[in-house]
Amino acid sequence: MSRASTETMLDRILAARRLRLEQQKAVLPFAVLEARAETAPAARDFVRELLGPDGLGKLTTGSESPRVIAELKKASPSRGVIRREYNPAVLAPSLERAGAAAFSVLTEPDFFEGSLEDLALVRRLVERPVLRKDFILERYQVVESRAAGADSFLLIAAILDDAALAGLIAAGRELGMEALVEVHNGEELRRALGAGAKMVGVNNRDLKTFEVSLQVSFELVDKIPESCVAISESGIRSRDEVKRLQAAGFDAFLIGERLMEAQEPASALSEFIGGETTLRDKE
């Protein structure tokens, strides 16, 4: 079997990301990037926004209004272009009015058609915290995220070894950002916790096969300590699924494709959150 036949989409994405990273470092030296990060607006508290002023603790009753991280992305490797009329300057404020607790912005350019410019624009237009969602491999990208205004950033346990994972979490904290560490199975969760993760995202989508199952979240939630923020990511399609995941112990929910494919994303978000948010979006 040839190497090409065994290469996964994840392999292709990582290869492209490493190439772009080397090109970017040649254009923008690390010292310049650090200077930009130092002058960026202070990072907003992503954890506090998700859990409120009362501190940590799982939302197990299901009665609280769910906290949704609204994800902005134009395309994905599995779906191609999801939203042709993709305008973050319009989408983000409307989703904030509809009740988004925070935002996730795709910045990977080759497979998701995202950019850091999208993130910087969203950060200027909303008051909620903004997370950079990308394939972050080096400290350079963490500093780059802060320089662009990110309040948090994604780390994918599957693509980082233990030392890199712990080092990047620490690098984020030095800049006032708490990383969201993404896992897909028990072993990755064990590694994330060992690296010191305080926000854990359970990705219901397998990054190698792109198959989606909410059962992944239900199987892992009880293994996430009370001291961690537990977030269910990907494949959430209905208010009922949010309620079930919330009752199981998740504190927040990252929802992207369902919003981006909707004719009116703000109305779709209101349906997930329920209640008066629909009216608030129409004021």
The model's pLDDT over 125-162, given as tens digits with 9 standing for 90+, comes to: 999 999 999 999 999 999 999 999 999 999 999 999 99
Catalytic residue (choose from 96, 108, 144, 233): 233
Q: Is there a catalytic annotation at residue 233?
A: yes
Q: Is there a catalytic annotation at residue 73?
A: yes
User: Residue 183 above 70 pLDDT?
Assistant: yes
Query: How confident is the model at residue 259, as a pLDDT?
Result: 94
Q: Is there a catalytic annotation at residue 71?
A: yes
Q: Is there a catalytic annotation at residue 133?
A: yes
User: Residue 92 above 90 pLDDT?
Assistant: yes
- CA dist., res. 165 & res. 171, Å (int): 10
Query: Distances from the Cα of 100 to the Cαs of 17, 31, 71, 280, in angstroms?
Result: 29, 35, 10, 12
CB neighbourhood size of 186 (10 A): 11
Considering the entire predicted model, what is its pTM?
A: 0.90
Catalytic residue (choose from 58, 74, 133, 198): 133
Q: Is there a catalytic annotation at residue 108?
A: no
Catalytic residue (choose from 76, 145, 217, 234): 234
Q: Is there a catalytic annotation at residue 217?
A: no
Catalytic residue (choose from 76, 203, 217, 232): 203
Cβ(203)–Cβ(183) below 8 Å: yes
Name the residue ranges covered by the structural domains of the chain.
3-282
CATH topology classification for 3-282? TIM Barrel (3.20.20)
Scan for tokens 């064990």, then name that residue. 190
